[in-house]
Amino acid sequence: MVLRSLRPLLILAAATLALPAAAQQQSQGYKFLEAVRKADGNTVISMLDQPGQRVVNARDVTTGEGAVHIVVKRGDSTYLRYLLQRGADPNLRDGNGDTPMLLAVQYGQPELVNVLATMRANANLGNNAGETPLIRAVQRRDLALVRAVLAAGGNPDQTDNVAGLSARDYAKRDARATAILKLLNDTPQAKPRAVSGPVLR
């Protein structure tokens, strides 16, 4: 009788042990992202202090959002610095292809653009539509953000995938962006990268 009542528990335990490592990691990733969302610093630190942890770049299975996206959206520079120092990817993309720098621009956070730039975030990574942080900053008509992204290495001549327009093009089309256009025009055009490798004749 006792053995029969223990049987379901033994089956459950065996099934849990048989879960692939990815599924177990996903549940750890979910817990980590929830702790970041709740700003539960003790849990975040505890999870990141575990030997062999890999949750710092865990992504939400529905949105693709990682911890860096969460803290950028809430404008938390201290938390962002901490995550980046613990190995978070400054170029992690969410389900829309948005990087932390794109979100920092979207949420009007030039300080976070600077934090990301110091950790080697790529200012020219576009989202799924090819929209770069600089294009988004120009569309917001935010001179401080444009300056921050340019300082981070933003290319004013990189085009998006939808309209085939660059940040410089968008500024030219917007009569209310004269100061931004002047700043962009004072920025030299990006030179095409030389292709390395053998020359075919």
Region 192-200: what's the mean pLDDT? 41
Backbone angles phi, psi at 59, to 5 degrees: -125, 140
- For the chain, list the domains and their CATH numbers: 21-185 (1.25.40.20)
Q: For residue 59, give the 3-state DSSP assignment.
A: strand
* Cβ atoms of 140 and 111 closer than 8 Å: no
* Adjacent-strand bridge partners of 66: 59
Residue pLDDT, tens place only, 145-182: 999 999 999 999 999 999 999 999 999 999 999 999 99
pLDDT confidence tier of residue 120, bands split at 50, 70 and 90: very high
Backbone angles phi, psi at 155, to 5 degrees: -95, 115
Question: What is the model's pLDDT at position 179?
Answer: 95
Question: Is 1's pLDDT higher than 60?
Answer: no
Question: What is the model's pLDDT at position 53?
Answer: 84
User: What's the whole-model pTM score?
Assistant: 0.80
DSSP code of 82? H
Q: Which residue has the tokens 């029969």?
A: 4
Question: What is the model's pLDDT at position 189?
Answer: 63
Q: For residue 66, give the 3-state DSSP assignment.
A: strand
Please, how many CA atoms are within 13 Å of residue 200, restricted to the half-sphere of its CB? 1
DSSP code of 84? H
* Cβ atoms of 108 and 145 closer than 8 Å: yes
Question: Is 24's pLDDT higher than 90?
Answer: no
Residue pLDDT, tens place only, 56-110: 999 999 999 999 999 999 999 999 999 999 999 999 999 999 999 999 999 999 9
The percentage of the chain sitting over the pLDDT mark of 90, rounded to a whole number, equals 77
